[in-house]
Amino acid sequence: MSGHDSKYFSTTKKGEIPELKEELNSQYKDKRKDAVKKVIAAMTVGKDVSSLFTDVVNCMQTENLELKKLVYLYLINYAKSQPDLAILAVNTFVKDSQDPNPLIRALAVRTMGCIRVDKITEYLCDPLQRCLKDDDPYVRKTAAICVAKLYDINAELVEDRGFLEALKDLISDNNPMVVANAVAALAEIQDSSARPIFEITSHTLSKLLTALNECTEWGQVFILDSLSRYKAADAREAENIVERVTPRLQHANCAVVLSAVKIILLQMELITSTDVVRNLCKKMAPPLVTLLSAEPEIQYVALRNINLIVQKRPTILAHEIKVFFCKYNDPIYVKMEKLEIMIKLASDRNIDQVLLEFKEYATEVDVDFVRKAVRAIGRCAIKLERAAERCISVLLELIKIKVNYVVQEAIIVIKDIFRRYPNTYESIIATLCESLDTLDEPEAKASMIWIIGEYAERIDNADELLESFLETFPEEPALVQLQLLTATVKLFLKKPTEGPQQMIQAVLNNATVETDNPDLRDRAYIYWRLLSTDPEAAKDVVLAEKPVISDDSNQLDSSLLDDLLANISTLSSVYHKPPEAFVSRVKTAPRADDEEFADTAETGYSESPSQGVDGASPSSSAGTSSNVPVKQPAAGAPAAPAPMPDLLGDLMGMDNSIVPVDEPTAPSGPPLPVLLPSTTGQGLQISAQLVRRDGQIFYDISFDNGTQAALDGFMIQFNKNTFGLAAGGPLQVPPLQPGASARTLLLMVVFQNLSPGAPNSLLQVAVKNNQQPVWYFNDKIPMHVFFGEDGKMERTSFLEAWKSLPDDNEFSKEFPASVISSIDATVEHLAASNVFFIAKRKNANKDVLYMSAKIPRGIPFLIELTAAVGVPGVKCAVKTPNKEMVALFFEAMESLLK
Amino acid sequence: MAGAVSALFLLDIKGRVLVWRDYRGDVSALQAERFFTKLLDKEGDSEAHSPVVYDDAGVTYMFIQHNNVFLLTASRQNCNAASILLFLHRVVDVFKHYFEELEEESLRDNFVVVYELLDEMMDFGYPQYTEAKILSEFIKTDAYRMEVSQRPPMAVTNAVSWRSEGIRYKKNEVFLDVVESVNILVNSNGQIVRSDVVGALKMRTYLSGMPECKLGLNDRVLLEAQGRATKGKAIDLDDIKFHQCVRLARFENDRTISFIPPDGSFDLMTYRLSTQVKPLVWVEAQIEKHSRSRIELMVKARSQFKERSTATNVEIEVPVPSDATNPNIRTSMGSAAYAPERDAMVWKVKSFPGGKEYMCRAEFSLPSITAEEAAPEKKAPIRVKFEIPYFTVSGIQVRYLKIIEKSGYQALPWVRYITMAGEYELRLI
C-alpha cells in the first residue's frame, strides 16, 4: 500500500511560493489538492509557508476529507503566526461541526481546540457545547478531550460556560471510550487547578470500574491512573476495588498491568487481613516477572518500578531473583537496572548463585557494567554478613585477572568492606598492595591510601608505600591529597619514628603553604595544631573508632517511596523523583531547580544516606536560617546557604578589605525599607535600598541609633552575589549619638565578588560598628538598577534581535495586580528606569508595548507588555539570550509596574 | 494524576526530524532535534541510552528505534511512561500494516497518511486508537482511497473496538498456532542458571459476522474446578496474558476463555512457565588456543528429546576470536561456515532427530599478536536456534475451540503446535 508522496518534496525551478500560490487558486480540484500536499510537504521539511495562509484556507471548504484534513493540519501549524487571518477559517469550522458526517464533526472540534488563538477560541464554545451532546460517541469522545484543550488556553471560559459539569456528566456516558476520555480530561484539569474539580465518589468509582471492562487498552490506563487517587473508605471497600482490578493483571498491555499493580499496592495499605495481602502479593509476582519479556524499553520502565516495589514489599519477588539475571543481548540500560534489583534481592539463600553471576558480568566488555558488577559484589558483602567472606574471595579472584579497572573498583569496595567488618579481613592487604602501581583513578588511589593509613601498624613497609605517593602530592586531585594527609598523620601517630616524622612535615608543609585548596589547608592546620599541642588528644581524635557502615545506597526514604509508588508506571517512578521535581509548566520562567535535576544517574555506593536521594529539593541546603527572614526570589531559585558562617569566612578572606567610615553626608529622599529592625539590632535600625543615579548604582542606607550609647566606626561588607555587587568606596557614616540617625549613599561596583550558581536576587549584607556585634541582614537586589542608559534599541535592530533568538528563549508572566492607567505615563515611568519604549500596537481592546532594556555585559531584554488600559493585569513577555536572568527580570518589572 | 505528551517525532537515523505532530504547542521541533542529535553523537551507539531521557529545559524524551527511524515523544508532564513507550511500538505496528515496512523512505512516500494517522491515534497527547485493521477502514492510502466521505467505523468507539461488523467469508476458518519459545541460560560449568518457556497462541481468523469463541485448554485450575478427572496431562500456567478481546472478568471468575476475535492474525494469549526444562539441544564446546597463533574448536551437539520428534533448522553459533582466519571445518552432519561479521562459526543442521549426537571440528589461524595482559575478549555465549514441530515443552493442549455465530455456520479450527528456541544461551568457559 505504498504511496508516492515523496514527489511533493521536490522543488521547482520557478520561485516555489508564487507557483504554489497559483496552484492553490487553480480552478481544478486535483491541482488544488496537489498544491496543498506540496505546502504540507514544505512545512514538513521546515520551510516557512505561512505566507500562503489565505490561499490554503480558501481550500478549506471542500467535500474531500483528505484535503480538509491537510488544510486543518496547516491551520494548526500557522494559525498562531497569522491570528488575524485565522478568523477566516472560523465559519468553515462552525459549519463542519454541524456536518452530517461524524468524522467531520469530530475533526472540526478536535482541530479548533488545537488552534491556540483567542479569537478562534471564542467561537469554539458553541460547537463544543453541541458536540459534547452529540449522538455519535466518536464525536463525544473527541469533544471530551477538547474541553481539556480549552482549559489549557482559557480556564475561565471553561468554567463560565459550564463545560466542567458537562464533562462530569460524560462519566456516566454509556460509551466506555467517552468515559475514558472524560476521565483523562478531568484528571488533567484537576492537575492544573488547586480547587477540587474531579473528585471520585463511591458513585463515580463504580461507573469507572464498569467502564474499565469495556474500553480500549489506552482508556483502561486513563481510568486506572485516575483511580489511583481514590482513597478507599475502609478495608472492605479497598478489597472490593482490588477484586475488580485484579483481572487487569492478565491484560496483554504492559501499561494496563503496571497501572493495575499500582492500584493494588495502594489499596493493600488499607487491607488488614494478612491472608488477603499475602494472596495479592502472590498474584502480582507472575505478571511482574512477565513484564521482563516485553520490549526492552518497557522492561526498563518495569525494572525501575520493580526497584520501588521490592523496597516496599520485598516478599513479592523474593523467590524470583533468577529472572533478573542479565541476558547477553540485553541493552546496557536494562542490565544496569537488573543488577540493582539483584543486589536488593540477594539473600543468604541465593548469594552463591548471585555471586557466580556477578563474577560472570565482571569479565564482560562494557566497562561501566563491569564496574557496577564489581561494586555489586562489595555491596552484597556489606549487606550479608555471612556471605562477606565469599564475596571477598570472589573479589580477590577478580583482582588476579589484573584488568586495570576491575582491580581499582575492587579496591574501592574492599575499603568499604573493611569499614563494615573491622579487624576481620585484613589478611588480604598484602594481595592488595601488589596492585599498588596500577592505580590511576583518584577514588581507587584514595581508597588504597586509606587502607594503608588505617592499618599502618600491620603493614611493615607502610611508610615506604605512602612515601611513593608523596612524591606526586602537588599534582594529585584533592580527594587523594586529603586521604594522603590523613593517612600520613595516622602513620605518624602509630609509628612515631624518624621516617614518618619527616614525611608528616613534608605533607603538612605541602598542604598548608603550597596549596590553594581551603579544605586541605584547613584540615592540615587542624592536624598541625592537634599534633603540636597534644599528641595524645590527636590520637584520640584521629584514631577514634569509626561508626559501622551499612548498605543503604539507593534506598529511598519511606515517605518518598510511598510518593513514588503512587506514581507507578509514570515518569516519576522512572526517575525516582516526585513529579514536582521535573514537571514544568510552560511559558513561565524556568525554575532553577529544574537544572539541578539533569543528573538522573544513580549514585553508587555511598556512606551517607542522603546521597542516593537528592530529591531535587534545594531547600535542604538552607539548614540554619538566621534571625533575619530570608527573602526568597519569587521564581524559586535555590535557597542561599546559611548566611552566618559563610559571610564571616568571606569577611576574613576578602580582597577588598573592610571599608572604614569617613566623612558624613546627608542625602534625603523617600523612606527606605527597614532591613534590620531595632528589635533585632539591639536598638540599631538599618534601612537600605539599591538605587541607580546618573548611571551609577548606589546603596542608599540609613542608620537610626536607638541604643543608649553612641555608635561609631561603621563598616559594611557584602557577601558574594549574583551580580558581584561590592562597595566601591568607604561607608560614610558619622558617629551616631543615641537617638540620632544618618543616611548616606554608598557607591557600588559590579562584578567584584560573583557568586556561582543560578542567579538570584539575594544580597547579604554585614554591618559592624565598634560597640556592637556584627549585624547580618538580607536585601533583595532589584534588577532594574542594572538597566543601563544605553538600553534603547532601534526598531529594526529590535526586530532582528527578536527574530534571531529562538522561541524557547521567550518567557511570559502575568502581573495580575499591575494596572496601566495611561500608556504615556507608564512609558515615561519605565523610561526613568531605563526601560525604553520602541513601538506599540493595538490588539483588540488591548495595547501591546514593545520595549527594551539592557544590563551590564550587553545582555539585552526584549520586552512585550500587553494590557488593557485601566484594567488590572499586565502580561509581560520577554526574550533574552540569558534565560537564567528571566526570573529576576520579571521580579524587577513587576515592581516597576506597581 | 494525568500526563500527556506534547509532540511525537519521527526522526531519521541521524536524529533529524522527518515528520512531527505537535499536540500541545509547548515544545519546539528544533530543540528536540538538537537535543536528540547531541544525544546520539555523544555515545556513538544508541544502545547505551535508556529510552527515557530528561533535558535541562524541563522536557522528557522517550524513544524507540525501528529500522532507520526513531520514534520520539517529548513531554512536559508526568506521563505514563509504560503506556507511551508501548504506544510508540503500536505506532510502528500500525505503520507496518499500512506501508509494509516502516523506514525513512516509506514515511516520506506516505506523509499525508502519516499525518492522518498521527491525528487519529493520539489526541492532545493522549493515546486514542491503535487498531491498524480498523483504522485502515477509514484512513486509506492513495491506492485504496474512495471518493465517498467515510464515517468512523462503529468499532472505534464500541466495546468491541477491534472488530467491525459485516465481515463475510465464504469459507469460515480459524488457524491456531501454539508456539512455545524455550529460553535457557547455561553456565560455563554446565549448570542451568535459568530456564523458562514463553508460549503464545497465535490466531488467524477468517470468520463471518460477530462470532463468539470459547477456547478450552488443559489448564489444571479449570479442570480441577470442574471436578473432572484429569485424564491425560493437565498443566499449570504461571502467568497468562490475554489479547484485549478476551473477557478478563469472566476468566477471573471461572477460567473460561471467551472472546469475539479480531479479523485476521493476532496473539490471543501468551503464557509463561518457569519450571526447569531440560535443554532440548545440548551443546558442548572445547576450545583450545595453541600458542596464540591457532585455535581449535570441538563442538558436540546432542538432541535431548524423544526420538519420534525432529528438530529442524538447527543453527548453532559458536563465538571465535575476532581476528580468526583460515577456517578449516569438518562436520559429522550438516554444514558449518565461518561468519566473520558475527565473530562466530555457524553450524547448520537442517534436520536433527531426537536422541542423536553430532560433532563439528574446526581450526582457525590467529594472526594478531596480542599483548601479555590484553583486555579480555568479548565473551559471547554459544547460541542455538531450532524449531521442533508437533511438540510442546509444556504439554499444553487445545481441548476445544467453539465458534458460535448467530447465522449458525460451521467453522473449521486448525491447530498446530511448534516449539522453538528463544534466548538460548550456553556460556563458554
- Chain A residues inside the 8 Å CB shell of B255: none
Compute the distance between CA of residue A161 and CA of residue A153 in angstroms, rounded to an integer.
14
Compute the distance between CA of residue A768 and CA of residue A648 in angstroms, rounded to an integer.
12
- Closest listed residue to residue A598, CA positions, set B260, B60, B171, B84: B60
Task: Please report the pLDDT score of residue A595 as a whole number.
Answer: 37
Q: The C-alpha cell of A659 is what?
A: 571599608
Nearest to B376 among A300, A403, A570 (CB): A403
- Mean pLDDT, residues B353-370 taken together: 88
Q: Same CATH fold, B281-369+377-389 and B173-277+393-426?
A: yes
- Mean pLDDT, residues A1-22 taken together: 70
User: With an 8 Å Cβ cutoff, are B64 and A114 in contact?
Assistant: no
User: With an 8 Å Cβ cutoff, are A229 and B1 in contact?
Assistant: yes
Smallest Cα distance from B70 to chain A, Å: 13
User: With an 8 Å Cβ cutoff, are B244 and A573 in contact?
Assistant: no
- Chain B residues inside the 8 Å CB shell of A254: 82, 86
- Closest listed residue to residue B98, CA positions, set A573, A1, A219: A1
Which of A283-297, A492-506, B215-229, B360-374 bottoms out in mean pLDDT, i.e. has the lowest? B360-374
Cβ neighbours, 10 Å, residue B147? 8
- Mean pLDDT, residues A34-58 taken together: 88
Between A668 and B260, where is the model more confident? Answer: B260
The domain defined by B7-156 folds into Beta-Lactamase (3.30.450)
Q: Looking at the predicted structure, is the pLDDT value of residue B232 above 60? A: yes
Question: pLDDT tens-digit profile of A169-217?
Answer: 999 999 999 999 999 999 999 988 878 888 888 889 999 999 998 889 9
A727: which strand partners? A748
Task: Please report the pLDDT score of residue A590 as a whole number.
Answer: 34
Q: Looking at the predicted structure, is the pLDDT value of residue A663 above 70? A: no
User: With an 8 Å Cβ cutoff, are B423 and A329 in contact?
Assistant: yes
Q: Is B43 on the interface with A (CB under 8 A)?
A: no
Q: Looking at the predicted structure, is the pLDDT value of residue A653 above 80? A: no
Q: Mean of the per-residue pLDDT values for chain A?
A: 83
User: With an 8 Å Cβ cutoff, are A66 and B145 in contact?
Assistant: yes
Task: Please report the pLDDT score of residue A603 as a whole number.
Answer: 37
- Mean pLDDT, residues A804-813 taken together: 82
Between A758 and B401, where is the model more confident? Answer: B401
Taking a C-beta distance cutoff of 8 angstroms, is the pair B74, B32 a contact?
yes
Task: Please report the pLDDT score of residue A120 as a whole number.
Answer: 82
Cβ neighbours, 10 Å, residue A499? 15
Question: pLDDT tens-digit profile of A238-274?
Answer: 999 999 999 999 999 999 999 999 999 999 999 999 9
Task: Please report the pLDDT score of residue A587 as a whole number.
Answer: 36
Task: Please report the pLDDT score of residue B229 as a whole number.
Answer: 59
Task: Please report the pLDDT score of residue B150 as a whole number.
Answer: 62
Cβ neighbours, 10 Å, residue B271? 23
Question: pLDDT tens-digit profile of A549-605?
Answer: 877 766 788 899 999 999 999 999 999 999 988 886 543 333 333 333 333 333 333
Between A166 and A682, where is the model more confident? Answer: A166
Nearest to A301 among B81, B110, B123 (CB): B81
Nearest to A252 among B23, B159, B241 (CB): B241
Q: Which amino acid is at A804?
A: S
Q: Is B354 on the interface with A (CB under 8 A)?
A: no
CATH 3.30.590.20 fits B173-277+393-426, yes or no: no
Question: pLDDT tens-digit profile of A868-885?
Answer: 887 788 888 888 888 888
Per this entry, what is the length of chain B? 429
- Mean pLDDT, residues B175-198 taken together: 92
DSSP H stretches of helix in A402-497: 404-420, 429-433, 442-454, 462-470, 478-494
Question: pLDDT tens-digit profile of A154-180?
Answer: 999 999 999 999 999 999 999 999 999
**Best to test chain B binding among A66, A149, A213 (most B CBs inside 10 Å):** A66
Per this entry, what is the length of chain A? 898
Task: Please report the pLDDT score of residue B43 as a whole number.
Answer: 60
Compute the distance between CA of residue B120 and CA of residue A142 in angstroms, rounded to an integer.
10
Question: pLDDT tens-digit profile of B52-104?
Answer: 988 878 899 999 999 999 999 999 999 999 999 999 999 999 999 999 889 99
Looking up cell 531521557 gives B53
pLDDT above 90 as % of chain A: 35
What pTM value is reported for the model? 0.74
Task: Please report the pLDDT score of residue A665 as a whole number.
Answer: 43
Please name the residues in contact with A124: beta carbons below 8 A apart, sequence gap of 6 or more: A93, A109, A112, A113, A146, A150
Compute the distance between CA of residue A767 and CA of residue A780 in angstroms, rounded to an integer.
16
Compute the distance between CA of residue A436 and CA of residue B8 in angstroms, rounded to an integer.
53
Task: Please report the pLDDT score of residue A623 as a whole number.
Answer: 34
Cα dihedral B245, B248, B249, B252, rounded to 10, equals: 150
Q: The C-alpha cell of A113 is what?
A: 481546540
Which of A336-350, A746-760, B295-309 bottoms out in mean pLDDT, i.e. has the lowest? A746-760
Smallest Cα distance from B308 to chain A, Å: 31
Q: Where are the domains of chain B?
A: 7-156, 173-277+393-426, 281-369+377-389
**In chain A, whose CA is at the least distance from the CA of B377?**
A365
Q: Is B242 on the interface with A (CB under 8 A)?
A: yes
Smallest Cα distance from B233 to chain A, Å: 22
Compute the distance between CA of residue A732 and CA of residue B289 in angstroms, rounded to an integer.
87
In chain B, what is the greatest distance between 2 CA atoms, to the nearest angstrom? 79
**pLDDT-based confidence at residue A650 (cuts at 50, 70, 90):** very low
Task: Please report the pLDDT score of residue B30 as a whole number.
Answer: 85
Question: pLDDT tens-digit profile of B16-61?
Answer: 899 999 999 888 888 888 888 888 877 655 445 789 988 878 899 9
Question: pLDDT tens-digit profile of B304-330?
Answer: 999 999 999 999 999 988 888 899 999
Task: Please report the pLDDT score of residue A553 as a whole number.
Answer: 64
Phi then psi dihedrals of residue A819, to 5 deg:
-130, 135
- Chain A residues inside the 8 Å CB shell of B74: none
**pLDDT-based confidence at residue A295 (cuts at 50, 70, 90):** very high
Q: Looking at the predicted structure, is the pLDDT value of residue B376 above 70? A: no
Between A602 and A670, where is the model more confident? Answer: A670
* Three-class secondary structure of residue A498 per DSSP: helix
- Mean pLDDT, residues A374-401 taken together: 93
Task: Please report the pLDDT score of residue A649 as a whole number.
Answer: 33
Task: Please report the pLDDT score of residue B134 as a whole number.
Answer: 87
* Three-class secondary structure of residue B399 per DSSP: strand
CA distances from A596 to A61, A570, A590, A617, B148 (A): 51, 20, 12, 9, 56
- Closest listed residue to residue B331, CA positions, set B288, B297, B304: B297
pLDDT above 70 as % of chain A: 89
**pLDDT-based confidence at residue A352 (cuts at 50, 70, 90):** very high
CATH number assigned to the domain covering B281-369+377-389? 2.60.40.1170
